[in-house]
Amino acid sequence: MPRFAANLSMLFTEVPFLARFEAAARAGFSAVEFLFPYAYPVEDIRQELRRNGLQLALFNVNPGDYAGGERGLAVLPGRDRDFEEALEQALHYAGHLGCKKLHVMSGNTPASLSTADATELWLANMRLAADRLAQQQVMLLCEALNPRDAPGYFLHDQRLTDRLVSMIDRPNARVQLDLYHAQITHGDLSMLIRSLAGRIGHVQIASVPDRHEPVSGEINYAFIFRELAKAGYRDWIGCEYHPESGTHAGLIWRKAFDEP
C-alpha cells in the first residue's frame, strides 16, 4: 500500500507552520515533507518531529531569492559560492532532522546562457552537490517542473531530467517524479514510470489540472500506485497539493488507499 507524507508547505496551512506537525500526526500521517525550513530554528523543527513521532521524508535546498523569482542556483553563472552555502545550510538541517533526501532546485535558465552552457554549469554544480551530500549519506534529487507553471525552468521535461541525472554519474543522484508536473508535460504516465524503474528517488502527487486532492481530475492514482510498485518504488509519496476546501475535509481521499 502507498505510504503518504504530508507536504506541510501546502497542507494544514490553517495553522502556523510549527503547529502543522501535530496536525499531520493527528490526521494519521507518519511522515512529512516541506519546501524550505530555513525561517525556523532547526531545533524547533526537530522537537516537533520527535514530539509527534514523524519522519522527515524530504525538503528543498535554499533556491536563492524565491520571493524575487529565483528557483534555484545551479544554472546561474557567478553564484557558485551561494550554491555551496545553500548546500551546507541544507545539510545542517538534514543532519539534525534525520532527513536523507534533498531536492536541489535547478533554477531558471538565463536568457544570456545557451542550452549547452547551462547544461555544463548544471552538471558541474550537481556533481559537486552529489559528492557533498554523499558525505552525509543523503540522496540528491532533481525534479522537472512543467512549463505552464514554471516557464523558463531548466528542467522542464522528465525524460530530459532522467538523461541529465544519469550524466551526473553519482550513485546518490536520483529523479524526483512529481506526477502533477509529469502529467501536464507528458501524459502517458504508466510508460513514463516504467521507463524510470529503479531511478526514482521520490514521488509527489496532486490532481491535474487544478493541483487539488488526488481523487479528482485526469489521473487514476489507484492504477498509478500499482505501476509505481511494479517499478520498484515503495518509499514515501509526498502529498503536494492545494486542498480544495480545507485540509481536513479533503483528507477523506486517503480511505481509498488505506490498508485494511
State the catalytic residues: 143, 240
How many other β-carbons are positioned within 10 Å of the β-carbon of residue 115? Answer: 9
Phi, psi (rounded to 5 degrees) for 102 = -130, 130
Q: Which amino acid is at 160?
A: L
61 Cβ contact list (under 8 Å, min separation 6): 72, 86, 87, 89, 90, 102, 103, 104, 105, 129
**Cα–Cα distance, 204 to 31 (Å, whole number):** 13
Cβ pair 82, 57 in contact under 8 A:
no
122 Cβ contact list (under 8 Å, min separation 6): 74, 75, 106, 154, 164
Sign of the C-alpha dihedral, residues 185, 127, 71, 104?
A: positive
Cell reading at 51: 514530539
Radius of gyration of the chain from its Cα atoms, rounded to whole angstroms? 18
Whether the link from the prior residue into 209 is cis, omega within 30° of 0, is yes
What is the b/e burial string over 197-231, where b = at least 16 CB atoms within 10 angstroms of the residue's CB?
Answer: eebbbbbbbbbbeebbbbbebebebeebbebbeeb
